[in-house]
Amino acid sequence: MPNKPYDQLVAELDRIFYIQSVCRLLEWDEQVNLPSGAAEVRASQSAIMAGLHHQSATNPEIGEWLEALEQQSDSLTDDQKLVLKEAAKSYRRITRLPAEFVKRRASAQSKSYHAWVKARENSDFETFAPFLQEQIDLTHEEANYLGEGDAVYDYCIDKHDPEMKASTIEKLFADLKTDLIPLVNKIVDSPVKPDFSILKGFQVDRQEAFLKTVVRDIGFDFKHGRIDQSIHPFCSGIGSDIRMTTRFDEDNPIDSLTGAVHEAGHGLYDQGLPRTHPGTALSDYVGMAVHESQSRLWENQVGRGRAFWNYYEPQYREVFPEQLKAVSSEALFLAINGVKRNPIRFESDEVTYNLHIILRFEIEKQLFDQTLAVKDLPEAWNALSQEIVGLTPKNDREGVLQDIHWCDGSFGYFPSYCLGNMLAAQLWYTVLDAIPGLESEIEQGNFTSLLSWLRETIHRHGKRYNTLELTRRATGKPLGPDALIRYLKERYLPLYN
Ligand code: ZN
Protein backbone atom coordinates (compact mmCIF):
# COMPACT_ATOMS: atom_id res chain seq x y z
CA MET A 1 0.00 0.00 0.00
CA PRO A 2 1.61 3.30 -1.02
CA ASN A 3 2.07 5.68 1.87
CA LYS A 4 2.39 9.22 0.64
CA PRO A 5 3.76 11.01 3.75
CA TYR A 6 6.23 8.15 4.30
CA ASP A 7 7.53 8.31 0.73
CA GLN A 8 7.74 12.09 0.89
CA LEU A 9 9.62 11.89 4.19
CA VAL A 10 12.12 9.34 2.86
CA ALA A 11 12.73 11.33 -0.33
CA GLU A 12 13.42 14.45 1.74
CA LEU A 13 15.69 12.59 4.19
CA ASP A 14 17.70 11.26 1.25
CA ARG A 15 17.98 14.75 -0.20
CA ILE A 16 19.21 16.14 3.15
CA PHE A 17 21.69 13.31 3.38
CA TYR A 18 23.15 14.13 -0.03
CA ILE A 19 23.49 17.80 0.92
CA GLN A 20 25.35 16.76 4.04
CA SER A 21 27.55 14.42 2.06
CA VAL A 22 28.60 17.40 -0.09
CA CYS A 23 29.55 19.28 3.12
CA ARG A 24 31.69 16.30 4.13
CA LEU A 25 33.28 16.10 0.72
CA LEU A 26 34.27 19.77 1.04
CA GLU A 27 35.80 18.99 4.46
CA TRP A 28 37.71 16.01 3.03
CA ASP A 29 38.96 18.17 0.19
CA GLU A 30 40.02 20.85 2.67
CA GLN A 31 42.14 18.36 4.61
CA VAL A 32 43.59 16.61 1.56
CA ASN A 33 43.80 18.91 -1.46
CA LEU A 34 43.03 22.53 -0.74
CA PRO A 35 45.65 25.07 -1.88
CA SER A 36 46.53 27.37 1.03
CA GLY A 37 45.22 30.45 -0.77
CA ALA A 38 41.75 28.93 -1.12
CA ALA A 39 40.89 28.77 2.57
CA GLU A 40 38.69 31.84 2.44
CA VAL A 41 36.62 30.73 -0.53
CA ARG A 42 36.25 27.29 1.04
CA ALA A 43 34.96 28.87 4.26
CA SER A 44 32.26 30.65 2.22
CA GLN A 45 31.39 27.50 0.30
CA SER A 46 31.13 25.51 3.50
CA ALA A 47 29.02 28.15 5.24
CA ILE A 48 26.56 28.25 2.32
CA MET A 49 26.28 24.47 2.24
CA ALA A 50 25.84 24.31 6.02
CA GLY A 51 23.05 26.90 5.76
CA LEU A 52 21.37 24.93 2.99
CA HIS A 53 21.62 21.77 5.09
CA HIS A 54 20.12 23.48 8.13
CA GLN A 55 17.31 24.96 6.07
CA SER A 56 16.45 21.56 4.57
CA ALA A 57 16.71 19.68 7.86
CA THR A 58 14.31 22.14 9.53
CA ASN A 59 11.80 22.15 6.65
CA PRO A 60 8.36 22.44 8.36
CA GLU A 61 6.92 19.91 5.91
CA ILE A 62 9.00 17.24 7.62
CA GLY A 63 7.18 18.06 10.85
CA GLU A 64 3.82 17.65 9.07
CA TRP A 65 4.76 14.29 7.54
CA LEU A 66 6.07 13.06 10.89
CA GLU A 67 2.84 14.07 12.59
CA ALA A 68 0.70 12.37 9.94
CA LEU A 69 2.78 9.20 10.25
CA GLU A 70 2.71 9.19 14.05
CA GLN A 71 -1.09 9.18 13.86
CA GLN A 72 -1.10 6.06 11.69
CA SER A 73 1.84 4.33 13.32
CA ASP A 74 -0.16 1.10 13.84
CA SER A 75 -0.25 0.54 10.10
CA LEU A 76 3.52 1.00 9.62
CA THR A 77 6.01 -1.83 9.16
CA ASP A 78 8.84 -2.24 11.69
CA ASP A 79 11.30 -0.69 9.24
CA GLN A 80 9.00 2.28 8.66
CA LYS A 81 8.59 2.72 12.42
CA LEU A 82 12.36 2.79 12.80
CA VAL A 83 12.75 5.39 10.05
CA LEU A 84 10.02 7.46 11.67
CA LYS A 85 11.47 7.22 15.19
CA GLU A 86 14.97 8.27 14.16
CA ALA A 87 13.78 11.00 11.80
CA ALA A 88 11.56 12.43 14.55
CA LYS A 89 14.48 12.43 16.98
CA SER A 90 16.77 14.33 14.58
CA TYR A 91 14.02 16.73 13.58
CA ARG A 92 13.20 17.50 17.21
CA ARG A 93 16.85 18.06 18.03
CA ILE A 94 17.44 20.44 15.19
CA THR A 95 14.18 22.42 15.32
CA ARG A 96 13.92 22.96 19.07
CA LEU A 97 17.12 24.97 19.22
CA PRO A 98 16.48 28.70 18.65
CA ALA A 99 18.38 30.16 15.69
CA GLU A 100 19.95 32.73 18.03
CA PHE A 101 21.35 29.92 20.18
CA VAL A 102 22.76 27.99 17.21
CA LYS A 103 24.54 31.11 15.98
CA ARG A 104 25.89 31.96 19.43
CA ARG A 105 27.11 28.37 19.91
CA ALA A 106 28.89 28.32 16.52
CA SER A 107 30.68 31.56 17.29
CA ALA A 108 31.65 30.35 20.79
CA GLN A 109 32.99 27.08 19.33
CA SER A 110 35.16 28.90 16.87
CA LYS A 111 36.59 31.24 19.56
CA SER A 112 37.08 28.33 21.93
CA TYR A 113 39.00 26.37 19.29
CA HIS A 114 41.47 29.21 18.76
CA ALA A 115 41.80 29.74 22.52
CA TRP A 116 42.53 26.04 22.96
CA VAL A 117 45.20 26.01 20.23
CA LYS A 118 46.94 28.92 21.91
CA ALA A 119 46.53 27.62 25.46
CA ARG A 120 47.85 24.24 24.42
CA GLU A 121 50.84 25.83 22.71
CA ASN A 122 51.67 27.75 25.89
CA SER A 123 50.56 24.95 28.20
CA ASP A 124 48.39 27.50 29.95
CA PHE A 125 45.05 26.12 31.09
CA GLU A 126 43.93 29.32 32.79
CA THR A 127 43.46 31.17 29.49
CA PHE A 128 41.31 28.34 28.15
CA ALA A 129 39.20 27.88 31.31
CA PRO A 130 36.53 30.55 30.56
CA PHE A 131 36.02 29.12 27.05
CA LEU A 132 35.62 25.62 28.42
CA GLN A 133 33.17 26.90 31.02
CA GLU A 134 31.18 28.50 28.21
CA GLN A 135 31.08 25.20 26.30
CA ILE A 136 29.74 23.46 29.40
CA ASP A 137 27.13 26.18 29.94
CA LEU A 138 26.06 26.00 26.29
CA THR A 139 25.71 22.23 26.59
CA HIS A 140 23.40 22.65 29.61
CA GLU A 141 21.42 25.26 27.71
CA GLU A 142 21.11 23.00 24.66
CA ALA A 143 19.94 20.06 26.78
CA ASN A 144 17.37 22.32 28.44
CA TYR A 145 15.88 23.35 25.08
CA LEU A 146 15.45 19.67 24.29
CA GLY A 147 13.90 18.78 27.63
CA GLU A 148 16.97 16.74 28.60
CA GLY A 149 18.26 19.16 31.22
CA ASP A 150 17.86 16.60 34.03
CA ALA A 151 20.46 14.29 32.55
CA VAL A 152 22.81 16.49 30.56
CA TYR A 153 25.70 14.03 30.40
CA ASP A 154 23.39 11.24 29.22
CA TYR A 155 22.24 13.62 26.50
CA CYS A 156 25.88 14.24 25.49
CA ILE A 157 26.60 10.52 25.31
CA ASP A 158 23.41 9.86 23.34
CA LYS A 159 24.57 12.25 20.62
CA HIS A 160 27.47 9.91 19.84
CA ASP A 161 26.12 6.58 21.01
CA PRO A 162 22.31 6.62 20.95
CA GLU A 163 20.53 5.28 24.03
CA MET A 164 23.75 4.63 25.96
CA LYS A 165 23.70 5.93 29.55
CA ALA A 166 26.45 7.26 31.83
CA SER A 167 25.36 4.84 34.58
CA THR A 168 25.86 1.85 32.23
CA ILE A 169 29.30 3.07 31.19
CA GLU A 170 30.25 3.77 34.80
CA LYS A 171 29.64 0.15 35.75
CA LEU A 172 31.44 -1.23 32.67
CA PHE A 173 34.47 1.01 33.17
CA ALA A 174 34.69 0.29 36.90
CA ASP A 175 34.86 -3.45 36.14
CA LEU A 176 37.35 -2.93 33.34
CA LYS A 177 39.58 -0.72 35.48
CA THR A 178 39.77 -3.30 38.27
CA ASP A 179 41.37 -5.86 35.94
CA LEU A 180 43.17 -3.54 33.57
CA ILE A 181 45.34 -1.52 35.98
CA PRO A 182 47.13 -4.60 37.41
CA LEU A 183 47.50 -6.01 33.88
CA VAL A 184 49.14 -2.81 32.64
CA ASN A 185 51.44 -2.79 35.68
CA LYS A 186 52.51 -6.35 34.92
CA ILE A 187 53.26 -5.54 31.27
CA VAL A 188 55.17 -2.29 31.83
CA ASP A 189 57.13 -3.75 34.74
CA SER A 190 58.26 -6.70 32.61
CA PRO A 191 61.97 -6.79 31.75
CA VAL A 192 60.91 -7.36 28.13
CA LYS A 193 60.92 -3.95 26.43
CA PRO A 194 59.92 -3.25 22.85
CA ASP A 195 62.65 -1.53 20.83
CA PHE A 196 60.93 1.02 18.61
CA SER A 197 64.25 2.30 17.27
CA ILE A 198 64.58 -0.75 14.99
CA LEU A 199 61.95 0.74 12.66
CA LYS A 200 63.76 3.63 11.00
CA GLY A 201 63.98 5.05 7.51
CA PHE A 202 60.99 3.33 5.86
CA GLN A 203 60.47 5.13 2.53
CA VAL A 204 57.03 6.71 2.38
CA ASP A 205 56.24 5.67 -1.22
CA ARG A 206 56.90 2.03 -0.34
CA GLN A 207 54.87 2.30 2.86
CA GLU A 208 52.00 3.69 0.84
CA ALA A 209 52.07 0.91 -1.76
CA PHE A 210 52.27 -1.74 0.97
CA LEU A 211 49.39 -0.42 3.03
CA LYS A 212 47.20 -0.08 -0.05
CA THR A 213 47.78 -3.76 -0.76
CA VAL A 214 46.83 -4.66 2.81
CA VAL A 215 43.72 -2.46 2.76
CA ARG A 216 42.64 -4.02 -0.56
CA ASP A 217 43.33 -7.54 0.74
CA ILE A 218 41.10 -7.11 3.79
CA GLY A 219 38.24 -6.17 1.49
CA PHE A 220 38.17 -2.40 1.10
CA ASP A 221 36.65 -1.69 -2.29
CA PHE A 222 38.73 0.89 -4.17
CA LYS A 223 35.99 1.23 -6.80
CA HIS A 224 33.96 2.77 -3.98
CA GLY A 225 36.58 4.64 -2.05
CA ARG A 226 40.11 5.95 -1.88
CA ILE A 227 42.90 6.63 0.56
CA ASP A 228 44.93 9.84 0.74
CA GLN A 229 47.16 11.67 3.18
CA SER A 230 46.17 14.21 5.83
CA ILE A 231 47.61 15.51 9.09
CA HIS A 232 44.97 13.71 11.17
CA PRO A 233 43.74 10.40 9.72
CA PHE A 234 39.98 10.05 9.30
CA CYS A 235 37.34 8.26 7.29
CA SER A 236 34.34 10.00 5.80
CA GLY A 237 32.02 9.69 2.84
CA ILE A 238 29.11 7.45 1.98
CA GLY A 239 29.03 3.72 1.27
CA SER A 240 29.57 4.05 -2.45
CA ASP A 241 32.29 6.70 -2.08
CA ILE A 242 34.45 6.38 1.04
CA ARG A 243 37.27 8.87 1.58
CA MET A 244 39.84 7.84 4.11
CA THR A 245 43.22 9.23 4.99
CA THR A 246 46.40 8.21 6.71
CA ARG A 247 49.70 9.90 7.54
CA PHE A 248 53.26 8.76 7.07
CA ASP A 249 56.37 8.89 9.20
CA GLU A 250 59.58 7.28 7.91
CA ASP A 251 60.53 6.37 11.46
CA ASN A 252 57.14 5.08 12.58
CA PRO A 253 55.85 2.86 9.77
CA ILE A 254 53.66 0.71 12.01
CA ASP A 255 51.62 3.74 13.03
CA SER A 256 50.79 4.51 9.36
CA LEU A 257 49.97 0.91 8.60
CA THR A 258 47.80 0.18 11.64
CA GLY A 259 46.23 3.64 11.26
CA ALA A 260 45.26 2.83 7.67
CA VAL A 261 43.86 -0.57 8.70
CA HIS A 262 41.89 1.22 11.44
CA GLU A 263 40.38 3.71 8.99
CA ALA A 264 39.72 0.88 6.53
CA GLY A 265 37.73 -0.87 9.29
CA HIS A 266 35.52 2.23 9.46
CA GLY A 267 35.35 2.25 5.66
CA LEU A 268 34.38 -1.43 5.46
CA TYR A 269 31.51 -0.78 7.85
CA ASP A 270 30.30 2.18 5.77
CA GLN A 271 30.65 0.19 2.56
CA GLY A 272 28.64 -2.63 4.14
CA LEU A 273 25.67 -0.55 5.30
CA PRO A 274 22.52 -0.94 3.20
CA ARG A 275 22.36 1.77 0.52
CA THR A 276 18.71 1.82 -0.49
CA HIS A 277 17.69 4.95 1.40
CA PRO A 278 20.90 6.55 2.61
CA GLY A 279 19.16 9.32 4.56
CA THR A 280 17.25 6.92 6.80
CA ALA A 281 18.10 4.85 9.86
CA LEU A 282 17.96 1.71 7.66
CA SER A 283 21.27 2.78 6.10
CA ASP A 284 22.79 4.55 9.08
CA TYR A 285 25.42 3.28 11.51
CA VAL A 286 24.47 2.46 15.10
CA GLY A 287 26.72 4.93 16.86
CA MET A 288 30.38 5.66 17.47
CA ALA A 289 30.95 2.66 19.78
CA VAL A 290 29.94 0.19 17.07
CA HIS A 291 31.86 2.17 14.45
CA GLU A 292 34.97 2.01 16.62
CA SER A 293 34.46 -1.72 17.24
CA GLN A 294 34.78 -2.24 13.48
CA SER A 295 37.93 -0.16 13.07
CA ARG A 296 39.56 -1.61 16.16
CA LEU A 297 38.81 -5.22 15.37
CA TRP A 298 40.65 -4.87 12.05
CA GLU A 299 43.43 -2.75 13.53
CA ASN A 300 44.10 -4.75 16.69
CA GLN A 301 42.65 -8.24 16.85
CA VAL A 302 43.49 -8.81 13.16
CA GLY A 303 46.19 -6.28 12.21
CA ARG A 304 48.45 -6.74 15.24
CA GLY A 305 47.88 -10.48 15.40
CA ARG A 306 50.28 -13.36 14.84
CA ALA A 307 48.28 -14.87 11.95
CA PHE A 308 48.20 -11.56 10.07
CA TRP A 309 51.94 -11.05 10.47
CA ASN A 310 52.76 -14.65 9.58
CA TYR A 311 51.22 -13.81 6.22
CA TYR A 312 52.54 -10.27 5.75
CA GLU A 313 56.01 -10.41 7.32
CA PRO A 314 57.72 -12.00 4.28
CA GLN A 315 56.13 -9.37 1.99
CA TYR A 316 57.08 -6.59 4.41
CA ARG A 317 60.69 -7.80 4.40
CA GLU A 318 60.68 -7.86 0.60
CA VAL A 319 59.54 -4.23 0.49
CA PHE A 320 62.00 -3.10 3.21
CA PRO A 321 64.94 -5.52 2.92
CA GLU A 322 67.63 -3.13 4.19
CA GLN A 323 65.64 -1.76 7.11
CA LEU A 324 64.60 -5.22 8.35
CA LYS A 325 67.68 -7.35 7.65
CA ALA A 326 68.97 -7.17 11.23
CA VAL A 327 65.52 -7.25 12.84
CA SER A 328 64.28 -10.59 14.15
CA SER A 329 60.66 -11.68 13.78
CA GLU A 330 60.23 -11.50 17.56
CA ALA A 331 61.60 -7.96 17.77
CA LEU A 332 59.34 -6.85 14.91
CA PHE A 333 56.25 -8.42 16.46
CA LEU A 334 57.08 -6.89 19.84
CA ALA A 335 57.45 -3.43 18.31
CA ILE A 336 54.08 -3.87 16.56
CA ASN A 337 52.63 -4.73 19.98
CA GLY A 338 54.67 -2.27 22.01
CA VAL A 339 53.17 -1.21 25.35
CA LYS A 340 54.46 1.82 27.19
CA ARG A 341 52.88 4.38 29.50
CA ASN A 342 52.42 7.61 27.58
CA PRO A 343 50.70 10.78 28.78
CA ILE A 344 49.20 11.34 25.30
CA ARG A 345 46.03 9.40 24.48
CA PHE A 346 46.34 9.20 20.71
CA GLU A 347 49.93 7.99 20.87
CA SER A 348 49.02 5.21 23.27
CA ASP A 349 48.99 1.48 22.62
CA GLU A 350 45.78 -0.53 22.67
CA VAL A 351 46.27 -1.69 26.29
CA THR A 352 46.88 1.61 28.08
CA TYR A 353 44.55 3.49 25.70
CA ASN A 354 41.52 2.28 27.64
CA LEU A 355 42.85 3.87 30.83
CA HIS A 356 43.04 7.23 29.08
CA ILE A 357 39.38 6.92 28.18
CA ILE A 358 38.32 5.93 31.69
CA LEU A 359 40.15 9.03 32.99
CA ARG A 360 38.25 11.30 30.56
CA PHE A 361 34.92 9.68 31.33
CA GLU A 362 35.39 10.20 35.08
CA ILE A 363 36.35 13.84 34.55
CA GLU A 364 33.40 14.56 32.23
CA LYS A 365 30.98 12.89 34.62
CA GLN A 366 32.19 15.07 37.49
CA LEU A 367 32.02 18.21 35.35
CA PHE A 368 28.38 17.51 34.53
CA ASP A 369 27.49 16.26 38.02
CA GLN A 370 28.93 19.62 39.05
CA THR A 371 31.18 17.95 41.59
CA LEU A 372 34.22 19.35 39.77
CA ALA A 373 34.72 23.02 38.90
CA VAL A 374 36.56 24.00 35.72
CA LYS A 375 39.20 25.92 37.68
CA ASP A 376 40.13 22.71 39.56
CA LEU A 377 40.38 20.67 36.39
CA PRO A 378 44.18 20.48 35.91
CA GLU A 379 44.71 19.34 39.47
CA ALA A 380 41.94 16.74 39.22
CA TRP A 381 43.26 15.57 35.85
CA ASN A 382 46.80 15.10 37.13
CA ALA A 383 45.69 13.26 40.26
CA LEU A 384 43.38 10.92 38.31
CA SER A 385 46.02 10.42 35.64
CA GLN A 386 48.45 9.22 38.29
CA GLU A 387 45.81 6.93 39.79
CA ILE A 388 44.46 5.48 36.52
CA VAL A 389 47.10 5.85 33.79
CA GLY A 390 49.99 5.53 36.25
CA LEU A 391 51.75 8.80 35.49
CA THR A 392 51.42 12.52 36.11
CA PRO A 393 51.73 14.68 32.98
CA LYS A 394 54.69 17.07 32.95
CA ASN A 395 52.42 20.01 32.09
CA ASP A 396 48.89 20.87 30.93
CA ARG A 397 49.87 20.56 27.29
CA GLU A 398 50.55 16.85 27.91
CA GLY A 399 47.63 16.68 30.32
CA VAL A 400 44.26 18.34 30.38
CA LEU A 401 44.87 20.41 27.20
CA GLN A 402 45.91 17.56 24.91
CA ASP A 403 42.57 16.72 23.24
CA ILE A 404 40.55 18.78 20.79
CA HIS A 405 37.17 17.28 21.83
CA TRP A 406 36.14 19.68 24.60
CA CYS A 407 36.85 22.92 22.75
CA ASP A 408 33.79 22.51 20.53
CA GLY A 409 31.69 20.91 23.26
CA SER A 410 32.05 17.29 22.07
CA PHE A 411 31.49 15.94 25.56
CA GLY A 412 30.39 12.30 25.80
CA TYR A 413 32.39 11.24 22.75
CA PHE A 414 35.38 9.64 24.51
CA PRO A 415 33.59 6.63 26.05
CA SER A 416 32.75 5.28 22.54
CA TYR A 417 36.43 4.48 21.94
CA CYS A 418 36.67 2.14 24.91
CA LEU A 419 33.17 0.67 24.44
CA GLY A 420 34.31 -0.04 20.86
CA ASN A 421 37.36 -1.90 22.19
CA MET A 422 35.15 -4.02 24.44
CA LEU A 423 32.79 -4.86 21.60
CA ALA A 424 35.65 -5.61 19.20
CA ALA A 425 37.09 -8.20 21.59
CA GLN A 426 33.67 -9.70 22.18
CA LEU A 427 33.02 -9.97 18.43
CA TRP A 428 36.46 -11.48 17.93
CA TYR A 429 35.85 -14.42 20.27
CA THR A 430 32.38 -14.90 18.81
CA VAL A 431 33.66 -15.08 15.25
CA LEU A 432 36.52 -17.41 16.26
CA ASP A 433 33.89 -19.80 17.63
CA ALA A 434 31.66 -19.37 14.60
CA ILE A 435 34.50 -19.93 12.08
CA PRO A 436 36.99 -22.34 13.68
CA GLY A 437 39.46 -22.09 10.76
CA LEU A 438 39.49 -18.30 10.75
CA GLU A 439 43.05 -17.80 11.97
CA SER A 440 44.45 -20.21 9.37
CA GLU A 441 42.50 -18.33 6.71
CA ILE A 442 44.05 -15.05 7.89
CA GLU A 443 47.46 -16.73 7.89
CA GLN A 444 46.90 -17.30 4.15
CA GLY A 445 45.84 -13.71 3.54
CA ASN A 446 42.19 -14.64 3.22
CA PHE A 447 39.86 -12.26 5.04
CA THR A 448 36.66 -13.08 3.17
CA SER A 449 34.86 -15.09 5.85
CA LEU A 450 35.62 -12.54 8.54
CA LEU A 451 34.29 -9.67 6.45
CA SER A 452 31.19 -11.67 5.42
CA TRP A 453 30.52 -12.47 9.07
CA LEU A 454 30.76 -8.79 10.03
CA ARG A 455 28.53 -7.82 7.10
CA GLU A 456 25.93 -10.38 8.19
CA THR A 457 26.18 -9.79 11.96
CA ILE A 458 26.69 -6.02 12.14
CA HIS A 459 26.69 -4.05 8.89
CA ARG A 460 23.44 -5.09 7.24
CA HIS A 461 21.33 -4.08 10.25
CA GLY A 462 21.91 -0.34 9.84
CA LYS A 463 20.61 1.42 12.93
CA ARG A 464 17.96 -1.21 13.75
CA TYR A 465 19.42 -2.03 17.16
CA ASN A 466 21.26 0.16 19.64
CA THR A 467 24.79 -0.74 20.80
CA LEU A 468 23.72 -2.90 23.74
CA GLU A 469 21.04 -4.77 21.81
CA LEU A 470 23.26 -5.34 18.78
CA THR A 471 26.01 -6.68 21.06
CA ARG A 472 23.60 -9.16 22.62
CA ARG A 473 22.33 -10.29 19.22
CA ALA A 474 25.79 -10.54 17.67
CA THR A 475 27.63 -12.19 20.55
CA GLY A 476 24.90 -13.79 22.66
CA LYS A 477 26.16 -11.85 25.68
CA PRO A 478 25.68 -8.40 27.17
CA LEU A 479 28.44 -5.87 26.51
CA GLY A 480 31.13 -6.30 29.14
CA PRO A 481 34.87 -6.02 29.77
CA ASP A 482 35.64 -9.77 30.09
CA ALA A 483 36.44 -10.45 26.43
CA LEU A 484 38.70 -7.39 26.23
CA ILE A 485 40.63 -8.41 29.34
CA ARG A 486 40.90 -12.00 28.06
CA TYR A 487 42.14 -10.80 24.67
CA LEU A 488 44.72 -8.40 26.17
CA LYS A 489 46.00 -11.12 28.51
CA GLU A 490 46.25 -13.70 25.72
CA ARG A 491 48.00 -11.28 23.39
CA TYR A 492 50.33 -9.45 25.76
CA LEU A 493 51.22 -11.68 28.72
CA PRO A 494 53.09 -14.28 26.62
CA LEU A 495 54.86 -11.48 24.73
CA TYR A 496 56.01 -9.77 27.92
CA ASN A 497 56.62 -13.03 29.82
ZN1 ZN B 1 38.29 5.35 14.68
Residue 321 C-alpha to ligand 1 middle, in angstroms?
Answer: 31
- Our separate counts of H helices and E strands in the chain read 21, 3
Residue 236 C-alpha to ligand 1 middle, in angstroms?
Answer: 11
pTM for the whole structure: 0.96
Which residues in the chain come in under a pLDDT of 50?
A: none
In this prediction, residue 156 carries a pLDDT of 98
Residue 477 C-alpha to ligand 1 middle, in angstroms?
Answer: 24
pLDDT in tens, 321-350: 999 999 999 999 999 999 999 999 999 999
Annotated catalytic, 263? yes
Measure the CA–CA gap between 444 and 383, rounded to whole angstroms. 47
- Per the prediction, the chain carries an average pLDDT of 96
Helix/strand/coil for 315: helix
CA distances for 289 relative to 60, 157, 230, 257, 364, angstroms:
32, 11, 24, 22, 17
Measure the CA–CA gap between 127 and 448, rounded to whole angstroms. 52
Point out which residues pair with 244 in neighbouring strands: 227, 235
In this prediction, residue 231 carries a pLDDT of 85
Identify the CA nearest to 390 among candidates 342, 339, 337, 338: 342
Residue 259 C-alpha to ligand 1 middle, in angstroms?
Answer: 9
Catalytic: which of 263, 292, 350, 362?
Answer: 263
Residue 173 C-alpha to ligand 1 middle, in angstroms?
Answer: 19
Residue 299 C-alpha to ligand 1 middle, in angstroms?
Answer: 10
In this prediction, residue 36 carries a pLDDT of 87
Measure the CA–CA gap between 275 and 226, rounded to whole angstroms. 18
In this prediction, residue 451 carries a pLDDT of 98
